[in-house]
Structure 1
Amino acid sequence: MKSVCNIAVELIKPRGAHSSAAARRLGGEMCKELKTKVLRLLPPTSNGPSVHQEGQTDGAEILNCTVKALKEGHVVGVPTDTIYGLACLAQNSEAVRKTYNIKGRNGQKPLAICVGEIQDIYKYCKVTVTKALLGDLLPGPVTLVFERSEVLNTDLNPFTLLVGVRIPDHAFMRRLCQMCAEPLALTSANISSHTSTVAVHEFQELWPKLAVVVDGGPIGDQSRLGSTVVDLSVLGKYRIIRPGCALLSTVDVLEHKYGLSEDFGEE
């Protein structure tokens, strides 16, 4: 008898026409039971709406299934514009603990949050820059670090007053955040200290611990560097925490367009 996880993998393999209907029915049953499952997003087409293909699942169905898993306190695997990530509801303390356990992550290493719209940042962060600057960097492969607001879950990164916030340039992730109507805690989909992942099979060892794995296909940027992380918590200054994949373009915006200066340690 096949395991739940092995059956789920079959949903994303090429398959014949005679088996696709059964696979879709199986996928629906697994979604209801919230067992580990892998669901492949439809690729956009160049001449109109996406067309259903064998072994793939409708984007609305995947969104609903993933939101259900998150709302019930589960951790999910998701694509972003940089690397694959693990996500849970940031306001759910138990889900945050699960995320650390799944990764084997040091409890003193922070998780970023992910939101769907720029205006959401103001609810969870004390923003020190203009909305125009936010709009020039987001959505995009950048994590902006600000002082956290009192609204954010105190069990998320309780050891620091700061929090990193992302809006990935990825339609599924933005819509997922919008449907959840609260921030997601987001971290890379890998065992801590292991290589970042750009395809779902690369973190297959984590699948049994996840409620949903959303297969968005291989991520185009193969650098595996993740987002550029920049601290903007001090007015008029910036500090690069992690160079990431968008360092030059981020620094260009911060310095040349908005006049921020680097390195705010010594005054």
Structure 2
Amino acid sequence: SPLRTPRSPRSPRSPRSSPLAPAALPPSPSGPRAAPEPGHPTEAWREAVAAAAGALQAGGLVAVPTDTVYGVACLAQDSAAVRSIYSLKGRNGAKPLAICLGDVERLYRYCHVNVPDELLRDLLPGPVTLVLQRSEELNKDLNPFTSLVGVRIPDHPFMRDLARACPGPLALTSANISSQGSTLTVLEFQDLWPQLSLVIDGGPIGDIQSPECRLGSTVVDLSVSGKFSVIRPGCALTPTVEILKKKYGLVPESS
């Protein structure tokens, strides 16, 4: 499918189509950069990853496609950038941000894990956020009110490459004003563009007519040994619970 490079927020006309739009443009809030098609690690793909990683390492906020909805990311270890995400979204300061990593192996640095590695790999990468005890490595200004942290490894090649290109975890939240609906195209959060360093356009995510596609990831707390609790049903509840109960014998925390 063709890649879409929308015009600037000031002229929201129909997106242009471009088979492989160049992505090596400097980070700018003037409009999205197209993410090249997955499975083609071309020069344009590498340039898009490098542009996004550069914007993040400069303290910026970058809008990104994930396997569920569009997100906004910053470096989790950058306290000023974390504050910027809360400001951008008008988000309640007591609502935690998840961290995003590129690979399961990196999770052990930022979390205390009390479930089998195989369980992690059965659910990640995927549309699931696993809540675990945080380690001392994680920025103390990120969710300072809780000893837990949600971890995302999206099943999206651009997001995983971007996370691998950054020195630490990303803080990740949905690309919308708090309490408003999740977004499945870059045009749906056009009002946020001017406050972002870069917008990566991966095209529509899922079926934009389907409410189920806007549910976001399934959030499951695994911080208590042998148990799990569902914090948000999300889009992958049934298969996630099936794996936790049937394969690993975990029981719902209320029982």
**TM-score normalised according to structure 2 size:** 0.89
CA contact (8 A) 1:144 1:229 kept: yes
1:86 aligned onto 2:69: no
The residue correspondences of 1:69-218 to structure 2 (distance < 5 A) are 69-218=55-204
C-alpha change, 1:11 and 1:113, in structure 2 (3 Å) is farther
Identity rate of aligned residues, in percent?
A: 55
Is the partner of 2:245 in helix, strand or coil?
helix
Q: Distance in 2 between matches of 1:91 and 1:220?
A: 31
Give every structure 1 segment of 4 or more consecutive aligned residues whose post-TM-superposition deviation is greater than 6 Å.
7-11
Is the partner of 1:37 in helix, strand or coil?
coil
1:14 deviates by: 3.1
CA contact (8 A) 1:115 1:121 kept: yes
Task: Give deviations 1:69-128, integer Å, cap 9, x for gaps.
Answer: 000000010000000000000000000000000000000000000001101111101111
Aligned to 2:35: 41
C-alpha change, 1:160 and 1:50, in structure 2 (3 Å) is closer
Q: Distance in 2 between matches of 1:119 and 1:207?
A: 33
Q: 2:223 aligns with which of 224, 233, 239?
A: 233
Aligned to 1:255: 245
CA contact (8 A) 1:73 1:94 kept: yes
The residue correspondences of 1:1-80 to structure 2 (distance < 5 A) are 5-6=8-9, 13-14=16-17, 28=24, 30-31=25-26, 34-44=28-38, 49=40, 58-80=44-66
What are the ranges of 5 or more consecutive residues in structure 1 without an aligned counterpart?
A: 52-56
Task: Give deviations 1:158-179, integer Å, cap 9, x for gaps.
Answer: 0111100010000000010001
CA contact (8 A) 1:37 1:211 kept: no
What are the ranges of 5 or more consecutive residues in structure 2 without an aligned counterpart?
A: 1-6
Task: Give deviations 1:218-239, integer Å, cap 9, x for gaps.
Answer: 1115420000000000000000
CA contact (8 A) 1:225 1:245 kept: yes
1:9 deviates by: 7.4
Aligned length: 245
CA contact (8 A) 2:63 2:73 kept: yes
The amino acid of 2:218's aligned partner reads T
1:41 deviates by: 1.5
1:181 deviates by: 2.8
**TM-score normalised according to structure 1 size:** 0.85
1:60 deviates by: 1.1
Larger Rg, first or second structure (1 or 2): 1
1:35 deviates by: 4.4
Q: Distance in 1 between matches of 2:200 and 2:117?
A: 31
Which shows bigger deviation, 5-14 or 145-154?
5-14
Is the partner of 2:17 in helix, strand or coil?
coil
Q: Distance in 2 between matches of 1:99 and 1:50?
A: 29
Q: Which has a greater percent of helix?
A: 1
